[in-house]
Amino acid sequence: MTKYYRKIRSFVRREGRLTKGQQRALDELYPLFGIELEAKQLIDFETLFGNDHPVHIEIGFGNGQALTYMAAEHPEQNYLGIEVHRPGVGNALLQIEQQDLKNVRVIGQDAVEVLADHIPANSLAAVYIFFADPWHKKRHHKRRLIQVEFVKTLLSKLKQDGLIHFATDWQDYAEHMLAVLKQIPNIENLAGEDQFSERPDYRPVTKFEQRGLRLGHGVWDLLLKKK
C-alpha cells in the first residue's frame, strides 16, 4: 500500500520557535496524520482515509481550530488541512490526538504546489480559506492568494456543485474577492451577485475573530458553488 509520508525536511522557515508539545507532535504525530508527497504524486483519497467519504480541504488552517472543529462535528466527511507554518501544523496535530480524530490529515507544504501537483481533478467536495493574509498595502495586492487563476485551479479540483468558502476580516480584501469572481464564469455566489453570506454554523468563531469583533471589525463570508 502506498504511504503518503516520509521524514519532515529539516529546512528553516522564518517563524516563531516551536514549543516542546509542537515539536513532539511534528516528530511523533506527523508520520501518522501528515502527508509529505513525492513530485507530481496524486493523492488517492480512498487509500489515504480508508473510505470514500467526501473530501474537504482547508488551506492555511492556522492553529487548526476550524479544521479540527469541522472534522469533529462531521465524522462522515474527510478533512485535509494545508499549512506551511510549522507551529500551526504542530497545534493541529495535538488537537487531532486529543480529540482522537480519524478523519483528518495535514500537509505542511505550499498550497499552490499541492493543488497543482497532488490533488486529482474533480475530487473535492469543498475548499475553505479562512482569513488569508490580506496583504493590505496596495503594492502587495499581487501577493494575495485569491486571484483569478488560483480560483480557477480550485474549481478544477472540485466536483460538480462543490463548495468554496472564503472568509476575511478586511473589507478591501472582501471587495477584491468579489472583483475576482466577476472574471470567472463557472462559479455561483450563493448569496447573490456582489453579496456576502451569513457565517455558516460549521465555521467556528476563532479567538482571533472574537477579538476583532469586539474591536468593531467586520467579517465577510463568501460561499461559492461550482456550476
pLDDT-wise least confident of 5-14, 65-74, 154-163: 5-14
> How is residue 26 written as a grid cell?
511534528
Q: Above 90 in pLDDT, residue 92? A: yes
Tell me the three cell numbers of residue 18.
516551536
Spell out the domains of the chain, with CATH numbers in brackets: 49-226 (3.40.50.150)
Q: How confident is the model at residue 138 (pLDDT cuts 50, 70, 90)?
A: confident
Answer yes or no: are the C-beta atoms of 144 and 182 closer than 8 Å: no
Kindly list the catalytic residues: 133
What is the DSSP track for the chain? ------PPP----S-PPPPHHHHHIIIIIHHHHEE-PPTTPPP-HHHHHSS---EEEEES-TTSHHHHHHHHH-TTSEEEEE---HHHHHHHHHHHHHHT-SSEEEE-S-HHHHHHHHSPTT-EEEEEEES-----SGGGGGG-S--HHHHHHHHHHEEEEEEEEEEES-HHHHHHHHHHHTT-TTEEETT-TT--BPPPTTS---HHHHHHHHTT---EEEEEEE-
The whole-number average pLDDT for the span 41-69 is 97
Q: What is the pLDDT of residue 135?
A: 84
Question: What does the pLDDT average to over 9-14?
Answer: 38
Over range 29-48, report the average pLDDT: 94
Phi, psi for 26 (deg, rounded to 5): -65, -40
CB neighbour burial string for 169-178, b if at least 16 within 10 angstroms, e if fewer: bbeebbebbb
Mean pLDDT, residues 19-40 taken together: 95
What contacts 41, CB < 8 A, 6 or more positions away?
Answer: 4, 117, 118
Percent of the chain with pLDDT over 90: 79
Supply 35's cell numbers: 502527508
Q: Enter the pTM of the model.
A: 0.90
* pLDDT at res. 10: 28
pLDDT attached to residue 81: 98
Q: pLDDT per residue over 102-122, tens digit each?
A: 999 999 999 999 999 999 999
